[in-house]
Amino acid sequence: MIFSILIFISNLYSQIIPLKTDKIPDAYLKFDTKESNCPKNYSQLNKDIDYIDIENQVKDVSLADWGIITKLEDDLDRESLLKVINTNIEYWKSKPSSFSIKFGNVSYSRDAMLKSNQRFYEIFSSTMDYSEILNIIKKEFKIYKAVSDDTKDVTITGYYESEIVTKKERDEEFKYAIHLKPPDLVKTNNQDFDYGRLDENGNLVKYYSTEEIRNGAIDKYKLEIAYSNHPSHIMLAQIQGSSIIRYPDGSYEKIGFDGANGWKFQSVQKILMDCGEIPSMNFRDFINYLSSQPRDREERLVNLNPRYIFFAKKDPSIGVIGAISKELTPKRSVAIDPNYIPYGIIAYIISTKPVSDANGEKIVEFKNFSRFIATHDTGNAIRGAGRIDLFWGNGKIAEIEASSMKAKSEFYLFAPKN
């Protein structure tokens, strides 16, 4: 009996505490993986092989029967819902009348989408309860369901506005730069890379990789906004797409996405999980794990993701700006892949969410929830109709809840009938 208990405790401990193993090579070590638990392509990540942090990618977005939803519930207030609908209205007003979107093979004009969002605003401004609202929406709107490749449901994760400690001047400890967009960066229409540069022969090529940038490839441009003492903290800001950078005197600045280097995103966390080095853990704990490594190893691990994000300074008085150039609404705005799901859409999710304690120190429970959301943003790892990312806002509670958010979700989108 005692022996069984000891075995149980040992197994539990091994699941909780990240363990290093002699089967795990250092990052970028060129070796034959026959003797290793690491992925076969581990040593070839520089060759831009996809290694994104999702189990499911796209299937499609298809028309569904209204019988699939028998009741509507929303765990948030109407005020925040009206805010995201109004953001949609502003987005559609900014588009030319010739603009249109597609769900599958069906096109919807800019005017139709603007009117449908204005109608949503009218409906939710009323005092009607959700049973009455459901009846009206059924009469006036079509419902589409997003489906992943091997299940009925999509995968939902969370992101937030991170905060990292920085200094304005480089020193021996704070030596990892956060960069502005380089002057030679070119936005492309190339299917293989979204940003690049012209080489010495005038050919369009991908921009410098994370490792090349860390080694000084763009130092001549003097683009440094601030310096962090951990490359993993910069990676955190890059994955979240925005950050508050805090200085030693308590002052701060806000930065937001302003371009990338054209390389595909590779999930360092998933690489290390598949290698057997770490167990499944939330993203906050993973960043803490990386930053606890010897600094040279932390650098090499961060370099496994060749995609690099450039930032611009943002107005500190406003919130995070999404891909539609509008302010995101915490817990209502979501990031999607615009190749499959259009921006400016009202949608509905049914899923499970993490709930932290009052201090944002730990997750105390997971609760079922449903709510209306809107498609306002995109991100590096958001690929296909089977993947959405819910924006959480900022602060300690947002950090731990967003970092712990990974669940299956029913994901429905609404479009006008006429």
pLDDT at 373 over 60: yes
Alpha carbon distance 167, 248 (integer Å):
7
- pTM given for the model: 0.81
At 147, is the pLDDT very low, low, confident or very high (cuts 50, 70, 90)? confident
pLDDT at 216 over 60: yes
Let me know if 293 is exposed, middle or buried by CB neighbors in 10 A (0-12, 13-18, 19+).
middle
pLDDT at 30 over 80: no
Alpha carbon distance 117, 383 (integer Å):
25
At 59, is the pLDDT very low, low, confident or very high (cuts 50, 70, 90)? low
At 381, is the pLDDT very low, low, confident or very high (cuts 50, 70, 90)? low
Q: Which CATH class is domain 162-314?
A: mainly beta
pLDDT at 15 over 90: no
Which residues are 243's β-sheet partners? 162, 255
Nearest to residue 297, comparing CAs of 232, 237, 240?
A: 232
- Return the minimum-mean-pLDDT range out of 75-84, 107-116, 143-152, 172-181: 143-152
Task: Please report the DSSP string for 316-336 in residue order.
Answer: TTS--B-TTSSB--TTTEEE-
- Return the minimum-mean-pLDDT range out of 21-35, 83-97, 160-174, 317-331: 21-35
Q: Which CATH class is domain 58-156+323-416?
A: mainly beta
Which two tokens mark 259?
């371009």
Mention every residue, 6+ apart, whose C-beta is less than 8 A from residue 44.
Answer: none
At 406, is the pLDDT very low, low, confident or very high (cuts 50, 70, 90)? very high
Q: Under a CB-based contact definition with an 8 Å cutoff, are residues 70 and 361 in contact?
A: no
For the chain, the domains span 58-156+323-416, 162-314
The arithmetic mean of pLDDT across residues 173-188, rounded, is: 97
pLDDT at 42 over 80: no
Mention every residue, 6+ apart, whose C-beta is less than 8 A from residue 214.
Answer: 176, 231, 299, 303
The arithmetic mean of pLDDT across residues 276-283, rounded, is: 89
Summarised one tens digit per residue, pLDDT across range 88-145 is 999 999 999 999 998 878 899 999 999 999 999 999 999 999 999 999 999 999 999 9
| C-alpha atoms less than 13 angstroms from C-alpha of 237 in its C-beta half-sphere | 29
Alpha carbon distance 332, 286 (integer Å):
26
- Return the minimum-mean-pLDDT range out of 143-152, 274-283, 303-312: 143-152
Q: Under a CB-based contact definition with an 8 Å cutoff, are residues 161 and 244 in contact?
A: yes
pLDDT at 79 over 70: yes
Mention every residue, 6+ apart, whose C-beta is less than 8 A from residue 6.
Answer: none
Q: Under a CB-based contact definition with an 8 Å cutoff, are residues 405 and 397 in contact?
A: no
At 366, is the pLDDT very low, low, confident or very high (cuts 50, 70, 90)? very high
Task: DSSP letter for 45, please.
Answer: G
Q: How many CB atoms lie within 10 A of CB 279?
A: 14
Alpha carbon distance 151, 22 (integer Å):
36
The arithmetic mean of pLDDT across residues 294-306, rounded, is: 95
The arithmetic mean of pLDDT across residues 245-265, rounded, is: 95
The mean pLDDT value of the chain amounts to 86
Q: Is the dihedral of CA 73, 390, 81, 133 positive or negative?
A: negative
Alpha carbon distance 125, 135 (integer Å):
16
Which two tokens mark 136?
């009206």
Strands (E), 110-241: 141-148, 154-167, 176-179, 186-187, 195-198, 204-206, 224-228
pLDDT of residue 335: 95
